[in-house]
Structure 1
Amino acid sequence: MKKRYINKGAKKFIAYFQNFSNTYAPIERLKDIYYQVIEKDIVQISISTRPDCISDEILDLLEELKEKIDVSIEMGLQTANYHTLTKMNRGHTLAEYINATMKVKNRGFELVSHVILNFPNDNILDVIETAKILSVLGVDGVKIHSLYIVKNTILGKMFEEGKIKIGSLEDYVERTIRFLEYLSPKIVIHRLVADPPRKGTIFGNWGKPKIQIINLIERKLAEKETYQGKNFLSWYTPKTEKFKNIQNDLH
């Protein structure tokens, strides 16, 4: 794949450990894998994982790696609603996500979090609370996903039996806009909608191309004359002089 982009003129690359939990292995195995991708044209290693797969030992390894190459960590919160986290069998709680995030940020790593804005059990208040938590924790970026459902899974069976219903595309767009309005304007948006796999998906993106949904979100933002961070300062009211300076920077 790298050769394909070299042929298009690319000279620098990010090694992306994306699928599954890429810190879930013995330390020596992880070290071997990470160090294999360090080459002169690789400028960053991006490692996707879960809150329950981050330990001090792993962070020690990543700090060692960071001395040789830039390291970015991606980690899923998905929702601030801890009841939904349990129902979706996420395997971690809200508190565990917060704990892992604080550990990662205290080590000085860039952190990108993933969220899903249209869980069947979540409402608009859950969406707003998720934006607030990411903002307070100071994550560097966020990838916003729409929920998609794969066959031969528990969720897939529930969907096929009519036990869960997915909201409309219009509802997803509204949730995304509200999420952005309450999110810190300093957080980089890496993604606005999911990219479901073609094989095995029984529901994904309302049958629409990804770019069509992105365009719809951008158009609605313009129509509403709203933007990321519009409502951020309405709830983020720091009291100390340190945070007043941050507040002034945001104006």
Structure 2
Amino acid sequence: MERYYSYTRYLKEKFGGKVYKIPVNLPHTCPNRDGTVGTGGCIFCEDSPGGFVCLPDTRAISQKVEELKKYFQDKFKAQKFIVYFQAYTNTYHPLAVFRDYILAAVDNTDIVGLSVSTRPDAVNDKYLEVLAEVKNKKNIEVDVELGLQTVNYKNLIAINRGHTLAEFIDAVLRIKKFGLNVTTHLILNLPGETLVDVIENAKIMSALKIDFVKLHTLFIPEKTVLGDMYREGKIEIIPLEEYVQWVVTFLEYLSPEVVVQRLIGKGPDEGVLFANWGVSWWKIKHLIEEELEKRDTRQGAKCDYLNGKAVQKFLR
């Protein structure tokens, strides 16, 4: 018996079976690195800033999609695909360039979805119009992935995200206005956060009717500000056992309508000071599912705080 709304179940209900994601990388930089909203990037980001030195021909994107699609077809007998702009801030391009990238990516058969990862402060109506146009013309599902990490507005400053909670809320409302889906990335074990933050993360995701959530633990790359803080003993990471409890509690407060795309991320193999307590991601996933069973609980078990909780007693 499944105790949370898994992405696997969602895809089966929506598309009738397995759907494979085709990763597409674009030339990148970040407004939190190039001085637009900040410099240095998030304290856990080690990549040096990039630029638009050599923008690829959009035909290369279409070709890459076709090559990867054929690979999945040959190896897994795949028939349906989601094009996934995963890395960095994929809406942070001139509007015309962004439009060309998007159109090239979906100019293919068997594409049932498009997923575009970005930052809350890089979401604008003009860019959303492009995505909505593609959604309607191609009759595909379009999802905008927002890196948030936490709803704790003070911690957003501490980790140098370069945006606040307000920008996230604004982005979600705008995306929804265009009939697009929203995915939110969250890190539940950021330094200084507590179970109160975990619960508030779940509550805000539910109140905003986020479509998908992706959970991942905090990775600490060596060559980062966070790495220096970790070596100097300025931050502590909660034990794995406590993290498992936090994820289960998060799920209890999360609306049962929100799809959980990921319970745990796969940590980097090298170049990190900390990743998943040195434990395989699949084992941590299993521990979370075991704890759900042990507590005989499920996603949404404590989602009773919406729609005027205080007056509901008068309506029974």
Q: Give the TM-score normalised by structure 1.
A: 0.92
1:2 deviation in Å? Answer: 2.8
Q: For residue 18 of structure 1, what is the amino acid of its counterpart?
A: Q
Alignment counterpart, residue 28 of structure 1, candidates 96, 101, 113:
96
Higher mean alpha-carbon deviation, 55-64 vs 14-23, is at 55-64
- Which structure has more RCO (C-alpha within 8 Å, separation ≥ 6)? 2
- Aligned-residue Cα RMSD (Å) equals 1.8
1:63 aligns with 2:129: no
1:145 deviation in Å? Answer: 1.0
Q: For residue 70 of structure 2, what is the amino acid of its counterpart?
A: K
SS of the aligned residue for 2:101 comes to: helix
Q: For residue 194 of structure 1, what is the amino acid of its counterpart?
A: G
Which position in structure 2 is the counterpart of 1:150? 221
1:40 aligns with 2:109: yes
Q: Distance in 2 between matches of 1:195 and 1:92?
A: 26
1:42 deviation in Å? Answer: 1.3
Q: Distance in 1 between matches of 2:128 and 2:81?
A: 23
The answer as to whether partners of 1:75 and 1:112 remain within 8 angstroms in 2 is: yes
Q: Kindly provide the CA deviation profile for residues 49-74 of structure 1, in whole angstroms up to 9, marking residues without a partner as x.
A: 11011011111221222223321111
Q: Distance in 2 between matches of 1:169 and 1:210?
A: 12
The answer as to whether partners of 1:77 and 1:97 remain within 8 angstroms in 2 is: yes
Alignment counterpart, residue 187 of structure 1, candidates 247, 250, 258:
258
1:50 aligns with 2:119: yes
1:164 aligns with 2:235: yes
SS of the aligned residue for 1:67 comes to: helix
1:30 deviation in Å? Answer: 0.7
1:237 deviation in Å? Answer: 3.9
1:4 deviation in Å? Answer: 2.4
Alignment counterpart, residue 149 of structure 2, candidates 78, 89, 109:
78
Which position in structure 2 is the counterpart of 1:3? 70
Q: For residue 57 of structure 1, what is the amino acid of its counterpart?
A: K
Which position in structure 1 is the counterpart of 2:302? 231
The answer as to whether partners of 1:147 and 1:194 remain within 8 angstroms in 2 is: no
1:173 deviation in Å? Answer: 0.5
Q: For residue 284 of structure 2, what is the amino acid of its counterpart?
A: I
Q: Distance in 1 between matches of 2:263 and 2:301?
A: 17
The answer as to whether partners of 2:86 and 2:116 remain within 8 angstroms in 1 is: yes
Q: Kindly provide the CA deviation profile for residues 101-143 of structure 1, in whole angstroms up to 9, marking residues without a partner as x.
A: 1111121111111111001111000110110001000011111
Q: Distance in 2 between matches of 1:5 and 1:45?
A: 17
1:149 deviation in Å? Answer: 0.8
1:41 deviation in Å? Answer: 1.7
1:131 aligns with 2:198: no
The answer as to whether partners of 1:78 and 1:117 remain within 8 angstroms in 2 is: yes
Higher mean alpha-carbon deviation, 224-233 vs 34-43, is at 34-43
Q: Distance in 2 between matches of 1:10 and 1:94?
A: 39
Higher mean alpha-carbon deviation, 214-223 vs 39-48, is at 39-48
The answer as to whether partners of 1:193 and 1:210 remain within 8 angstroms in 2 is: yes
Alignment counterpart, residue 158 of structure 2, candidates 87, 110, 120:
87
The answer as to whether partners of 2:267 and 2:281 remain within 8 angstroms in 1 is: no
Q: Kindly provide the CA deviation profile for residues 202-236 of structure 1, in whole angstroms up to 9, marking residues without a partner as x.
A: 21000011100000000011001111000001x22
Q: For residue 168 of structure 2, what is the amino acid of its counterpart?
A: Y
Q: Give the TM-score normalised by structure 2.
A: 0.74
Q: For residue 33 of structure 1, what is the amino acid of its counterpart?
A: Y
Q: For residue 236 of structure 1, what is the amino acid of its counterpart?
A: L
Identity %: 45
Number of aligned residues: 242
Q: Distance in 2 between matches of 1:176 and 1:162?
A: 25
For structure 2, the residue ranges without an aligned partner over 5 or more in a row are 1-67
